[in-house]
A = this chain, B = another copy of it.
Amino acid sequence: MKQLLIASTSTIHGSGYLEYLLDELRVFFKDCQTILFIPYARPGGVTHDEYTQKAREAFQKINKSLVGIHEFESAASAIQQADGIFTGGGNTFVLLAQLYKNNCIEALQEAINTGTPYLGTSAGSNICGLTINTTNDMPIVYPPSFRALALVPFNINPHYLDPIPNNTHMGETRETRIKEFHAYNTFPVIGLREGSWLEVKDKTILLKGTLDARIFEYNKEPYEVKSGTTLQHLN
């Protein structure tokens, strides 16, 4: 059974790394001894080892060990053999470029579609969508494609941000950007606010956390859905 947690962010304001998700992760990864961590999106100034250590410390709180994919000779076989997988946030372009370079795309699709539990936060959630066309990140590297893992039938916009009232800055709001995406693409986009996540169990996709999510469908006005809403009909 396909099982994913697709989280807007690793960290909510005023709380530690993954802290708000730990109770959920304890259940989600209950049958996993060791989690394979994919640190490829690493934020600037952090090594793969340092980033893996940060994730390891969070998983120690729920008595799980964690190993970095960069420690294996073959990233693809590390994925094939993993009990569970976690891809952390950072830069989505860097992450996707590294996944292509290390032949991880098909390995991830196969592992996750055949039941390996997968947790993504931020960039690690973006890649669960059809493409990375709706990332908020700066395109600091050029990946060979924007096509992502297509584990859900829509795109994700993590860290979804409402327009700031009375803002004098002339840059586009997030809503405007996603509407512009729909000038060139037709699939839906889920705007996930920080603290929200999607729980995928087989064919069911459920919005969790306390916040509403904002749904952008082609040729429709964007609308809000409550936590507890199922979203698998969006495609």
* Contacts from A to B (Cβ < 8 Å): 9, 11-14, 43-45, 91, 93-94, 132-142, 145-146, 159, 161, 168-172, 176-185, 194
How far apart sit A11 and B45, CA to CA, in the bound complex (Å)? Answer: 35
Let me know if B13 and A180 touch, CB within 8 A.
no
Let me know if A183 and B13 touch, CB within 8 A.
no
How far apart sit A183 and B48, CA to CA, in the bound complex (Å)? Answer: 13
Closest B residue, CB atoms, query A178: B138
Residues of B contacting A171 in the complex (Cβ-Cβ under 8 angstroms): 136, 159, 161
Let me know if B183 and A44 touch, CB within 8 A.
yes
How far apart sit A178 and B91, CA to CA, in the bound complex (Å)? Answer: 12
How far apart sit A44 and B185, CA to CA, in the bound complex (Å)? Answer: 12
Let me know if A135 and B139 touch, CB within 8 A.
yes
Closest B residue, CB atoms, query A168: B13
How far apart sit A217 and B170, CA to CA, in the bound complex (Å)? Answer: 26
Let me know if A135 and B133 touch, CB within 8 A.
no
Cβ 8 A contact of A45, one of B134, B177, B181, B183: B183
Let me know if A177 and B133 touch, CB within 8 A.
no
How far apart sit A134 and B45, CA to CA, in the bound complex (Å)? Answer: 18
A170 touching B12 in the complex, CB below 8 Å, given contacts A44-B183, A180-B43? yes
How far apart sit A194 and B14, CA to CA, in the bound complex (Å)? Answer: 32
Closest B residue, CB atoms, query A92: B139
Closest B residue, CB atoms, query A183: B44
How far apart sit A140 and B176, CA to CA, in the bound complex (Å)? Answer: 12
Residue of A44, A136, A168, A179 with most partner-chain B CB within 10 A: A44
Let me know if B135 and A135 touch, CB within 8 A.
no
Contacts A140-B185, A169-B194 aside, 17 further interface pairs with beta carbons under 8 A come to A11-B170, A12-B170, A13-B169, A43-B176, A43-B180, A44-B176, A44-B180, A45-B179, A91-B180, A93-B139, A133-B138, A133-B139, A133-B140, A135-B138, A136-B171, A137-B172, A140-B177
Q: How far is the CB of A120 from chain B (nearest CB, A)?
A: 15
